[in-house]
Amino acid sequence: MDETKRLTVLFVILLAGGSVCAFSDDPVQDAKRITACFLVILDSVVVYPALAWFIIGGLTYITAAEDRKQTSKGKRYMIEAIAGVACAKALIAIAALTPFGIKLTMCT
């Protein structure tokens, strides 16, 4: 994706979030609710691609048959899957900290 498309997507997301919060009595609470809904989606979806990536990496590693390139590729896939899940869970934990106070139950 080139830089123009990335900026366009970011602008649309900011515009949508800003317009939702701008016409509200409590924009901070609405922003927290939107973030909580995003985190619920992230929490429920991130596990499946990571599991698939981990299995693909494991199969690549097991079937490498002493090919160093395939072995390192399999290891990298497994590490990326674990790191992806860890990052998603860390994001949810950071959002729940006191300064932010975003709980996953806020998405209703």
DSSP for 50-84 reads HHHHHHHHHHHHHTTTT-HHHHHHHHHHHHHHHHH
> pTM to 2 decimals?
0.68
Instruction: State the pLDDT at residue 51.
Output: 92
Which residues of the chain are under the pLDDT cut of 50? none
Question: Which residues does 54 contact at the CB level (< 8 Å), separation at least 6?
Answer: 77, 78, 81, 82
Interatomic CA distance for residues 48 and 42, integer angstroms = 11
Where are the chain's structural domains? 26-106
The 10s digit of each residue's pLDDT in 15-29 is: 776 666 666 777 778
CA distances from 8 to 16, 18, 19, 22, 98 (A): 12, 15, 16, 20, 32
